[in-house]
Chains A and B, each alone.
Chain A
């Protein structure tokens, strides 16, 4: 008895994972790679019986064209189960369908010679070059004096990563066998925030590696035959020193691959996630992107250390398997398009954050890609998109999310439209304070709230309307909160008569002209606000409600 807490009682929900479409190519996977990461993913997926194509990114140079792997020749397009990619393979252009797309290009290591005003030479090399020399057993440049001096430059300008420090530490540890070796590390901030890195750094220091940490007076470099002389003020002793190392090793800046936009720009809203493939909202975790069936591994989502990349590789295999094993239920929650109303204006195609909408003679919503945010319903200027019946059925039984709005009992109260992922959660803990003063409607995403619904609420007997959405950059529908905020600003401008007709993000009128102005100006409640909040910031919501109450009493 009493072991399950009532406040955490489950609401039974039938998981309705849409089946991939009939002509789906679910067994075919495209891995866009370029180094070991892509190869590893390809070989793992092949082992579980999938048909894998490993391609290099879009061909940019002739050298690329000589590779044996198929090369992409243009952006990938389509939906989960039916992505389309074009290749050039032994001089033939081919277009192939795929079920899944995995972005696994290598990181772009940007050399920093220019940043420090240095020129690359035999004695001045990048850290990855030194690692390659060590791996291949190649000799290092010869020593000039009795001791072999190696200077490492890490993070003197700009910013570094723990991954880069671990590369330096790898090098020094592996060069231990060199007789009379003295290693120096010139840095500003040692990025020791990786597994065992602090420990390894301390051991090196105990074994005589000298670390200089600078704040302001950065070292300068003077050309010295085939190397450089480093001039610096020792930060602790405050004395000037100079050092002409036998080998000068420079850090690199790790960046996501540069061809993400060209390759995946049609699939994800890259202008928002740039330079990564994964949108910045913390709601996109692990390898997921905003587009179903497209996965971002390692460097494409800003992860560079080997251990985490391996973790991503194993995870992506799991994610693909999960969709294949659990996508047999064909019931769909996706909204439906009324073909007779659709004007093919492409508003929904452009605004769907999940890239789930394509078009021919009318808009087509891809059922497996749709995440059911409802933005298309709210943004369609023709009112041609609506929730499917099954969605309303499932929704009514299993969640608080409201599909049909009824404002009959709103007289004198504040109507709250709350995003299920943020404001509605925050409201739970303050519910009891406002029981008698507000009427709450939980919506899937603030972006799903139609202008018509807001106007209906304003024109009911309600005293005011408050919409609560996620903080900018936190929305699970990427920008649903911003679309809603814009909508509310337009309505407010129409209410105050600044603008005659509210327009949507699309630049198109949200509701037929005339009627809109009239409706807005005749709105019985004049107070309409949008508040950004998170599920754990009820105080923000409380402040918004009390400031509305204040406004109402001032009127």
Chain B
């Protein structure tokens, strides 16, 4: 029976594994983190009184589809230590970390998270409310002694004695669905990220949406103004990113609409170079958006703490005059970069690429990469729906490749 390893369980990996299953191909979906969903799971639903087609809800849909699909095996907490090409396909050396929490006993009380000394070691699955130990952040992984969670668990659902297992896996093909890494805005110090209170990255804003933190604010604490700064880490030759991240304008527009829906009084400004709205969601979009959002064609020269302690944006206005304006919140629309978790480490033969579009040498027809495929944001910035489209397409390529292999014909 032919088997495919799909690496990465973000929306691309999930939908690829699902599509392969539908086409009768078995796959193993490998994820380093203890929970599936990847980057997409970090995004919040943008529905106002109707769906805005962001696609964030689809992750969960695919997770439940995967769980019902007999042809997909989901391996969480699993790293790939090494890989090599074989006559048949690829051999991967897997390092399977144990799931220390038994979810049948866990009552989701969350006491373990409260006592854990490492901030990121215990994660909560936003979908199920279950708790997970992220071994790479756990003190145990740094050879320190700690069993705080195990001792405190009222259900005795945690067993830290469990040991990782190393295992070889032979597959006929490998699909990299390693996604993207969000640009770290601290690399652009002039935007004040990490220094100026109130300056958030888009992902921080997502977390606020997801945790309902806006709703929980008292009337007086609710933001009355927010600025979105576009192209932070995109279209920037100084940092070697000569490409547009494609999704951020649509993202900022949706977020703006959601904020306007939640707080009709809020003033939303958007600093941009060119607005990239296309796609059917945004018909007659710019003219419509300009009625809701104050569109400013400028990239701020500096963001610092203003006189009242709020972030103050300095930028050049249309007549070259210097304008300084304070906002309650500033959201930096961070761009997408290739995942640095090193494709090289995953498949020894593949070189890490400087940027998404930099190298076209990766091609499954190239014998060096025979039986290896890329899908979703590993290929370049994509929306959630585009990533799914891509995965359906790659599933068809993989199926074609495996059929050719079966019939003994070499794929040219």
Binding site for B on A (CB under 8 A): 1-13, 158-162, 188-193, 195-199, 202, 213, 215, 238, 276, 280-283, 285-287, 301-302, 308, 311-312, 314-315, 317-319, 322, 325-326, 398-399, 421-422, 425, 428-432, 470-474, 532, 534-537, 539, 543
Contacts and interface: CB of A to CB of B under 8 A. Distances in A.
Interface in B214-261: 215, 235, 237, 242-244, 246, 249
Interface stretch (B113-121, B184-192, B385-393): B385-393
B75 A3 contact: yes
A471 B64 CA distance: 19
Contacts of B277: 159
A428 B127 CA distance: 7
B276 A189 contact: yes
A174 to B, nearest CB: 21
Contact of B276 (A12, A192, A428, A539): A192
Given A2-B98, A7-B125, A192 B274 contact: yes
Contact of A311 (B77, B244, B393): B393
Contacts of A13: 68-70
B24 A282 contact: no
A326 B237 CA distance: 49
Contacts of A7: 103, 125, 128, 130
Nearest to B54: A282
Contacts of A189: 274-276, 286
Interface stretch (B43-51, B148-156, B175-183): B43-51
A315 B47 contact: no
A3 B323 CA distance: 56
17 contacts: A2-B99, A3-B76, A5-B99, A5-B103, A8-B66, A10-B67, A159-B284, A196-B243, A282-B57, A325-B23, A326-B22, A428-B127, A471-B51, A472-B50, A474-B51, A534-B45, A536-B210
Interface string B116-138: 00000000011111101000000
Interface in B95-110: 96, 98-100, 102-104, 107-108
Interface of B: 15, 22-24, 34, 36, 44-45, 47, 49-51, 53-61, 63-64, 66-70, 74-78, 96, 98-100, 102-104, 107-108, 125-130, 132, 162, 165, 210, 212, 215, 235, 237, 242-244, 246, 249, 274-287, 297, 318-319, 357, 380, 384-385, 388-390, 392-393, 395-397, 399
Nearest to A160: B278
B124 to A, nearest CB: 9
Contacts, number: 223
A5 B34 contact: yes
Contacts of B55: 282
A536 B57 contact: yes
Nearest to A6: B103
B389 A286 contact: yes
Which 6 interchain pairs have the tightest Cβ spacing?
A318-B396, A474-B51, A6-B103, A429-B129, A472-B50, A473-B51
Contacts of B78: 3
Contact of B278 (A4, A5, A161, A287): A161
B49 A286 contact: no
B47 A196 contact: no
Given A7-B130, A282-B53, A302 B388 contact: no
B51 A537 contact: no
A199 B45 CA distance: 32
Contact of B385 (A191, A285, A470): A285
Nearest to A236: B320
A282 B58 contact: yes
A532 B49 contact: yes
A535 B127 contact: yes
Given A8-B74, A302-B280, 15 more contacts: A8-B67, A191-B278, A193-B276, A276-B280, A281-B53, A282-B53, A311-B393, A399-B68, A425-B60, A429-B127, A432-B107, A474-B57, A534-B45, A536-B44, A536-B45
B243 A199 contact: yes
A191 B274 contact: yes
Nearest to A430: B129
A6 B105 CA distance: 10
Most buried by A among B45, B78, B380, B384: B45
B108 to A, nearest CB: 5
* Of A7, A192, A472, A532, most B-chain CB atoms within 10 Å: A7
A84 B243 CA distance: 47
A22 B25 CA distance: 27
Contacts of B103: 5-7
A281 B49 CA distance: 14
A456 to B, nearest CB: 28
B36 A193 contact: no
A471 B60 CA distance: 15
Given A159-B286, A315-B389, A536-B210, A422 B57 contact: yes
B51 A281 contact: yes
Contacts of A301: 280
B201 to A, nearest CB: 20
A311 B391 CA distance: 10
A202 B127 contact: no
A176 B282 CA distance: 34
Given A198-B243, A326-B23, A282 B385 contact: yes
A539 B68 contact: no
Contacts of A539: 212, 215
Contacts of B297: 213, 215
A285 B49 contact: no
A539 B209 CA distance: 10
Nearest to B130: A7
Q: Which of the listed residues B102, B127, B286, B397 has the most CB atoms from chain A within 10 Å of its own CB?
A: B127
Given A6-B102, A315-B389, A425-B64, A1 B162 contact: yes
